[in-house]
Amino acid sequence: MTEAAIRHYRSVFISDVHLGTRGCQADLLLDFIRHMDCDTLYLVGDIVDGWKLRSGWYWPQAHNDVVQKILRMARKGVSVIYVPGNHDEVVRDFIGVHFGGVVVARDAIHETADGRRFLVTHGDDFDAVVQHAKWLALLGDWAYRALLASNTLINRIRRRLGFGYWSFSAFAKTRVKKALQFIENFEQAVADEARRRGVDGVICGHIHKAESRDIDGIAYLNDGDWVESCTALVEHADGTLEILEWPKVRASLAAPTPIGLPEPIAA
Q: What is the pLDDT of residues 176-202, one digit of tens each?
A: 445 556 677 889 999 999 999 999 999
**Whether the predicted pLDDT of 243 surpasses 90:** yes
Predicted pLDDT of residue 150: 61
Question: For residues 183 and 224, what is the distance between their CA atoms, to the nearest angstrom?
Answer: 12
Mean pLDDT within 147-154: 60
72 with 45: CB under 8 angstroms?
Answer: no
Rounded Cα gap, residues 29 and 48, in angstroms = 14
Distance between CA atoms of residues 198 and 51, nearest Å:
34
What's the pLDDT tens digit per position in 110-142? Answer: 999 999 999 999 999 986 433 433 433 444 454
Please write the tens of the pLDDT for every residue from 81-109: 999 999 999 999 999 999 889 999 999 99
What is the pTM (predicted TM-score) of this model?
0.78
For the structural domain made of 3-253, what CATH number should be given? Answer: 3.60.21.10
